[in-house]
Amino acid sequence: MKSVLISGGGIAGLALALSLSRRGFAPTVVERADGLRGGGQAVDVRGVALKVVDRLGMLEEIRAHRTRMRGMSVLDGDGREIHRSTESTFSSGRLDSGDIELLREDLVRVLHDRAAAEGVELVFGDTVTALDRAEDEAGTLIRFERAEPRRFDLAVGADGLHSTVRRLAFGPEERFTRHLGMHLAIFSANNFLALEDWQLWLREGEAGYGVYPVRGNSELRIGFGFAGEPLPAGRRGPEAQKALVAERMTALRWETPRLLKALAEAPDFYCDSMAQIHLDRWSRGRVTLLGDAGYCASPLSGQGTSLALVGAYVLADALTGSGGEHRAAYAEYERRLRPFVRLNQALATDNPGGPASEESVERAKNAIALDG
């Protein structure tokens, strides 16, 4: 039985662990956070990714968590409605689509609970610090911040845009990052706007926000977006980031003061640059990369979750087909997945002014066959 260390307990890492466990591998997931991360935006499971969750036996459970939006309003800087739609929203696309929008935390919880129930080893509050002898025929020795070193047959970095595994195996992050000129901040608040299954989007100049209710209209998810260069090193802590976001949003009018008050009080604030990751190869020795760690498309693509789910399935399938022989498996993983990644990354870079066209999304989300 091949042992696999998976760094990252998000969507990509948990989906891979579940897929590998069912195929006779022994995965161990190590997550830096002390538990499952709450908060975050609504994400989309689209196209081929729906087939992945169906094969994992989770499709109906995922559907039960879907958002229930009736439509959206687009507002000018003073909060006046300039457009409304009951057919689609910016976050999910067409409301009559078979695709599923749900909160990221709900999808992670479903994956986690399935993996735990099936005996996957899940380790929280730790992180990888070194990958020793990644080319060794006897496996790679993984060193951790807290736990004792352990040897694994394979190692997978599923630890996001700022992947530690990628840095250890391939080098500094800046070699592979393409900044897209935007930043996104996400946080939750009580539904002080009394929204009922309805989204609001406001933009003026190079800043704007989207607001939508969740949890039976009891909470809001608020997303602030603004243009700018990558965040300076000295402004990457939560409080410094909150101050920077407030600076960039304060010129907006309408409900902005109340939204900024909610930002200051938010317990689950997240902020990062919108960026993509591009590498010539996703593997080195016994180590490979999955999801945002290897080929982040950015939230601007709307396809990060689908890339994580499909990537996990294809990697597990390739490892099974090769009998666990990593060289052949990693080559097959890249051969099958790279065209799919390219099309989905292009949804962000080819449409800098707004959401991609329905035709582009339809083509990209279905641009791979799960069965070879």
Query: In terms of domains, do 171 and 137 share one?
Result: yes
Give domain status of residue 322, yes or no.
yes
Task: Pick 233 or 118 by higher pLDDT.
Answer: 118
Give domain status of residue 99, yes or no.
no
> 90-99, 278-287, 291-300: which range is least confident on average?
90-99
Query: In terms of domains, do 183 and 165 share one?
Result: no
Task: List, as one string, the DSSP characters of 80-132.
Answer: -EEEEESSEETTTEETTSS-EEEEHHHHHHHHHHHHHHTT-EEEES--EEEEE
Q: Give CA–CA dist 23/27, Å, rounded.
A: 10
Give domain status of residue 31, yes or no.
yes
Query: In terms of domains, do 148 and 30 share one?
Result: yes
Give domain status of residue 47, yes or no.
no
pLDDT of residue 284: 94
Per the structure, the complete domain to which residue 309 belongs is given by 3-38+104-176+278-365
Q: Give CA–CA dist 23/272, Å, rounded.
A: 35
Query: In terms of domains, do 282 and 166 share one?
Result: yes
8 Å CB contact between 289 and 156 = yes
Give domain status of residue 188, yes or no.
yes
Where a domain ends, among 249, 275, 301? Answer: 275
Query: In terms of domains, do 213 and 268 share one?
Result: yes
Q: Give CA–CA dist 318/329, Å, rounded.
A: 5
Query: In terms of domains, do 22 and 131 share one?
Result: yes
Query: In terms of domains, do 119 and 258 share one?
Result: no
Query: In terms of domains, do 262 and 121 share one?
Result: no
Average pLDDT score over residue span 30-35: 95
Query: In terms of domains, do 131 and 244 share one?
Result: no
Residue 67 has pLDDT above 80, yes or no: yes
Where a domain ends, among 275, 295, 328? Answer: 275
Is the model's pTM score more than 0.85? Answer: yes
Give domain status of residue 267, yes or no.
yes
Strands 154-157 and 3-7: parallel
Q: What integer best gives the mean pLDDT of the chain?
A: 93
pLDDT grade for 133, boundaries at 50, 70 and 90: low
Give domain status of residue 230, yes or no.
yes
Give domain status of residue 305, yes or no.
yes
For the chain, how many structural domains are there in total?
2
What is the maximal distance between C-alpha atoms in the chain?
65
8 Å CB contact between 155 and 163 = no
Average pLDDT score over residue span 53-67: 96
| pLDDT tens by residue, 236-294 | 678 888 988 898 888 899 999 999 999 999 989 999 989 999 999 999 999 999 999 99
Q: Give CA–CA dist 354/101, Å, rounded.
A: 19
The domain that holds 120 is classified in CATH as 3.50.50.60
**Which has the closest alpha carbon to 170: 279, 275, 32?**
279
pLDDT grade for 350, boundaries at 50, 70 and 90: confident
Query: In terms of domains, do 249 and 313 share one?
Result: no
Where a domain ends, among 228, 252, 275? Answer: 275
pLDDT grade for 235, boundaries at 50, 70 and 90: low
pLDDT of residue 353: 64
pLDDT of residue 233: 62
pLDDT grade for 346, boundaries at 50, 70 and 90: very high
Q: Tokens at residue 50, please? A: 């729906």
Phi and psi, residue 239, nearest 5°: -70, -40
pLDDT grade for 134, boundaries at 50, 70 and 90: low
DSSP class of residue 231?
Answer: P
Phi and psi, residue 15, nearest 5°: -65, -40
pLDDT of residue 354: 67
Average pLDDT score over residue span 186-190: 96
Q: Give CA–CA dist 204/211, Å, rounded.
A: 15
pLDDT grade for 355, boundaries at 50, 70 and 90: confident
Q: Tokens at residue 196, please? A: 């009922």
Whole-number percent of the chain with pLDDT over 70: 97
